[in-house]
Amino acid sequence: MLKRKYRHPVAIRHKVVMRRAKAAAVALAALGLAIFAAAQAPRAFAYARSRVGAPQWAKWKLARIDFSSVPRDHAQGVERELVLRHGAELTARDAARLEKSLADKFPALRNVRVSRNWISKELAVSAERRVPVARLCFTGGATAFVDENGEVYAAEPAGGGASVLDINVADGAAGGKFGPETVAAFRALRDSLRSFPCKPETVSLEGRNLLSLRLEDGSLVDWGGLEHTAEKAARLAQVYSRMRERARGPYRVNMRYFDDGRILLSGMGAAAAQPR
């Protein structure tokens, strides 16, 4: 093959470079336009939805409602709250709105879900019953509950939470969620105090992790932190029973130094505590 010769190689090379530069500029402009359009698409879609509402294809006609996955003690209340006529048209936003309404109305339920079945036209409502571990009694008179996951929720209906531990708390001191260690301590303390020699009248939470108890004989127990709860309760019951055989109460008990197994116990009028 003969090698082709150009009379003006420099001029031809310049044209090639210019064509490539123009192609690159056009590609960059197209890429920038595509990025801008992608960034503006969600806002444009949200604006269109706010102007015309949900599109017709997203609506779904209701045939029936299934409450079988709702706890029995709340099923009737949820059914009364969720009054929808046969053939009502619902969208995904409507289902989300119903979920929030039910969760606000029934705080003793968690994981409330309202899902649509496009084949059977059925609206399925599901929820889980919270298991209360402790009842928080605030100084202002309000009450709330702590469930097994440490979440604080509004008071149970009448008769609910009969076997939980009542804890006195200052207003605003128990916001948010309790950790798993605190929930385990509440549960262990509740179970241990059932067989305690002297029934506690009040259990108070100071801050987030300090407890104090007042027993029915007037004794004051500075429980300290929430660690070693089961061991503390067992040791206190042993020492308390032994102390009652020797002297009448009330007593002052300090358990803040329980890391080495010590309990400081004295009469309410005594000047010095005795390690036990």
* Same domain assignment for residues 140 and 226: yes
Q: Does residue 61 form part of some domain?
A: yes
Residue 42 has pLDDT above 80, yes or no: no
- Give the amino acid at 214: R
Q: Under DSSP, is residue 240 helix (H, G, I), strand (E, B) or coil?
A: helix
CATH of the domain at 237: 3.40.50
Alpha-carbon gap, residue 191 to 203, rounded angstroms: 14
Residue 145 has pLDDT above 50, yes or no: yes
Q: Give the phi and the psi of residue 257 in degrees, each rounded to 5.
A: -115, 45
**Integer angstrom CA distances of residue 123 from 80, 82, 88, 107, 128:** 15, 11, 11, 21, 17
* Same domain assignment for residues 69 and 182: no
Q: Residue 227: what pLDDT?
A: 85
pLDDT above 70: percentage of residues in the chain: 79
* Same domain assignment for residues 138 and 246: yes
Q: Give the phi and the psi of residue 82 in degrees, each rounded to 5.
A: -100, 75
Instruction: Provide the H-helix boundaries in 82-161.
Output: 92-105
Q: Give the phi and the psi of residue 200 in degrees, each rounded to 5.
A: -75, 135
Alpha-carbon gap, residue 243 to 268, rounded angstroms: 13
Task: Please state, rounded to an integer, the average pLDDT across all residues of the chain.
Answer: 78
Nearest to 215 by CA among 184, 182, 179, 244: 244
- Give the amino acid at 151: E
Residue 56 has pLDDT above 70, yes or no: no
Give the pLDDT mean for 66-73. 86
* Same domain assignment for residues 110 and 167: no
Residue 57 has pLDDT above 70, yes or no: no
Alpha-carbon gap, residue 97 to 103, rounded angstroms: 10
Residue 191 has pLDDT above 80, yes or no: yes
Alpha-carbon gap, residue 135 to 202, rounded angstroms: 12
Alpha-carbon gap, residue 84 to 103, rounded angstroms: 17
Give the pLDDT mean for 62-68. 83
User: Is the omega angle on the peptide bond into residue 250 within 30 degrees of 0, that is, cis?
Assistant: yes
Handedness of CA 84, 86, 89, 95 (dihedral sign): positive
Q: How far is CA 54 from the centre of its chain?
A: 31
Cβ neighbours of residue 68 under 8 Å, at least 6 residues apart? none
Beta bridge partners of 213: 203, 221
Q: Does residue 267 form part of some domain?
A: yes
Domain end residue (candidates: 98, 129, 160)? 129
* Same domain assignment for residues 152 and 257: yes
Q: Does residue 167 form part of some domain?
A: yes
Angle at the Cα of 188 (from 183 to 191), degrees rounded to 5? 125
Q: Is the pTM of this model over 0.85?
A: no
Q: Does residue 12 form part of some domain?
A: no
Give the pLDDT mean for 238-252. 79
Q: Residue 63: what pLDDT?
A: 78
* Same domain assignment for residues 69 and 144: no
* Same domain assignment for residues 148 and 100: no
Q: Residue 112: what pLDDT?
A: 92
Range of the domain at 227: 132-275
Measure CA of the first residue to CA of the last residue in the chain; give whole Å. 108
* Same domain assignment for residues 270 and 153: yes
* Same domain assignment for residues 147 and 116: no
Q: Does residue 169 form part of some domain?
A: yes
Q: How many domains does the chain have?
A: 2
Q: Does residue 269 form part of some domain?
A: yes
* Same domain assignment for residues 224 and 194: yes
* Same domain assignment for residues 246 and 164: yes
Give the pLDDT mean for 166-193. 82
Nearest to 273 by CA among 260, 257, 259, 192: 257
Q: Residue 175: what pLDDT?
A: 62
Q: Residue 143: what pLDDT?
A: 86
Q: Residue 272: what pLDDT?
A: 38
* Same domain assignment for residues 94 and 143: no
Residue 126 has pLDDT above 60, yes or no: yes
Domain end residue (candidates: 94, 109, 129)? 129
Q: Does residue 114 form part of some domain?
A: yes
Q: Does residue 2 form part of some domain?
A: no
Residues 192-238 pLDDT 10s: 877 777 788 889 988 777 888 898 888 898 988 888 888 888 888 88
Domain end residue (candidates: 129, 155, 180)? 129
Beta bridge partners of 135: 145, 166
CATH of the domain at 99: 3.10.20.310
Residue 149 has pLDDT above 70, yes or no: yes
